[in-house]
Chain A
């Protein structure tokens, strides 16, 4: 059943893009939209948006890059390890919880590293890959999406995003402990 579902979802992911193109353009033709002209008109906005993001993304990635390079993550993880032991999180999985909201490529590298060390089917291996799949890179999304419309006052977006990450990581730990606890 799970395999069948997986196949279907995989298939959808593959045909989704061609299907969207076909449906949208076909529908446009049917509705007598001047598809080529309209497409170009829409596409024009792409450049401005991408360029507008640059300063926001530079500011965000600079801070995150500097933070990672300083080794502060290891210090933080070792300070907090007594707390995470309480809730049954393996010490090696803890840096993942911090890195996931900060850096997509960083957490990908960390996941690969942890899986090499512990094996992909170990409890820690399953947990970190679940953690990776349980959240988006909050600060990247924040910088890009708010950068596009020049939002400087993010109001409650940061706490809301971090609460989402926190519960995502907690949820990942919870479900992995129920299903795969050694």
Chain B
């Protein structure tokens, strides 16, 4: 199943990217080679022999939208540019792209030769008598294969993100595993597992209720519910390692592992702190209003996950529980 999901994600991504790039090419969505008009304004004309103007170009929103055949740029485009004049009314225009630039230009710059700016060839200039205003006609550098470039970039970026996440886990892992070991040696975990045995025995019938895995799973679920994500992951991994000790067929998940994972993916949290923080930052009058609804949603997820795990493990296709020795 994981194989299919993995290959579908990658295949769908590449097919969609190729399709949308071909579509862009046919429609010429980025108007490669088509000249655009703008008013150019400078505060002062360059001194001496220098032929470089720093100024602002101005394109009315509806003109921009019409040019690119979109409806998203509703406000007028005012953009800082550098114009280097050349003989015969030509020159180059350097458009530095920032967050204030039109969204479309931002997307185009992301796949241009240099990431943070667009280059354009000026094909006609006509200056006003005082040299402070000009009508420019320019062609932006050709933009091609936007999606495919984005896909390649994402592949590299996310590969290094994965390593960063894992390396970042080392310290927290060590801290919580060290603490967990003390708790184990001191017999703390044994007491905890004994209290919760009636529940855990039902959820994980294959695991002896005094096994260290049970303690780690309880600690993980408790940490999750309190929203202590930093503690929950190390404890969850510890639980998986303990569960794996009971796994006679390494490399294949046991029923207990799947059930435990289903509880974790349900993500039952008493206080969804991240969502509340984002709501508060967005100016909500009552950021905490989602506490109740989130608990309902997450409970649905958790119950559905556990029931699904228990039902699916009986299906013939998944019925190869290594623990039960059915092979």
Chain A residues with a Cβ under 8 A of chain B: 2, 6, 9-10, 12-13, 16-17, 20-21, 23-25, 27-28, 30-31, 33, 35, 38-47, 49-51, 53-54, 57-72, 75, 101, 108, 111-112, 115-116, 119-121, 125-126, 129-136, 138, 141-142, 144-146, 148-161, 163-172, 174-176, 179
Chain B residues whose C-beta falls within 8 Å of the C-beta of A35 in the assembled complex: 182
The answer to whether B226 touches A63, judged by C-beta atoms less than 8 angstroms apart, is no
Shortest Cβ distance from residue A119 to the other chain B in the assembled complex, whole angstroms: 8
Contact B301 A42 (CB under 8 A): no
A-B contact pairs, 19 of them (CB 8 A): A17-B228, A28-B183, A38-B182, A41-B178, A42-B180, A59-B6, A61-B161, A63-B10, A66-B151, A115-B282, A120-B287, A144-B233, A164-B266, A164-B301, A164-B305, A168-B266, A172-B293, A172-B300, A176-B293
Q: Residues of A contacting B270 with CB < 8 Å?
A: 9
A69 and B153 contact, Cβ closer than 8 Å, known pairs A62-B158, A121-B285, A156-B315: yes
- Distance of A179 Cα from B292 Cα, bound (Å): 10
Contact between chains at A42 and B178 (CB < 8 Å): yes
- With A and B bound together, what is the CA distance between A6 and B290 in angstroms? 12
Flag whether B132 is at the interface (Cβ < 8 A). Answer: no
Q: Are B262 and A161 in contact (CB under 8 A)?
A: yes
Would you call B271 and A9 a contact (CB within 8 A)? yes
Residue of A nearest to B222 (CB): A16
B166 touches A51 (CB 8 A): yes
**Minimum Cβ distance to chain A for residue B91 (Å):** 35
Contact of B179 among A39, A129, A135 (CB under 8 A): A39
* B275, B278, B309: the one within 8 Å of A156 (CB): B309
Which partner residue on chain B sits nearest A41 by CB separation? B181
Smallest CB separation, B236 vs chain A (Å) = 6
Closest B-chain residue to A172, C-beta based? B297
**A28 to chain B: closest CB distance in Å?**
4
Q: What is the interface of chain B, defined by CB distance below 8 A to chain A?
A: 1-2, 5-6, 9-10, 12-14, 16-17, 20, 147, 150-151, 153-155, 157-159, 161-163, 165-167, 169-188, 226-228, 231, 233-234, 236-238, 240-241, 243-244, 247, 250-253, 257-258, 260-262, 264-267, 269-276, 278-279, 281-294, 296-305, 308-309, 312-313, 315, 318, 320-321
Of A71, A120, A141, which contacts B264 at CB under 8 A? A141
Contact partner, B178, options A39, A134, A169, Cβ 8 Å: A39
Interface SS majority for chain B: helix
Contact A163 B253 (CB under 8 A): no
Contact B186 A155 (CB under 8 A): no
- Within the complex, the shortest CB–CB distance from A109 to chain B, in Å, comes to 10
Chain B residues lying within 8 Å of A134, measured Cβ to Cβ, are 267, 293-294, 296-298, 300-301
Contacting residue for B304 out of A53, A141, A164, CB 8 A: A164
Complex CA distance for A135 and B302, rounded to whole angstroms: 8
Contact across chains for A54 and B297 when beta carbons are under 8 A apart = no
**Which residues does chain A contribute within 8 Å of B150, judged by CB atoms?**
69-70
A156 CB to closest chain B CB, in angstroms?
A: 4
In contact, B298 and A168 (Cβ under 8 angstroms)? yes
Q: Are B166 and A42 in contact, with the CB atoms below 8 A?
A: no
By beta carbon, the residue of chain A nearest B20 is A71
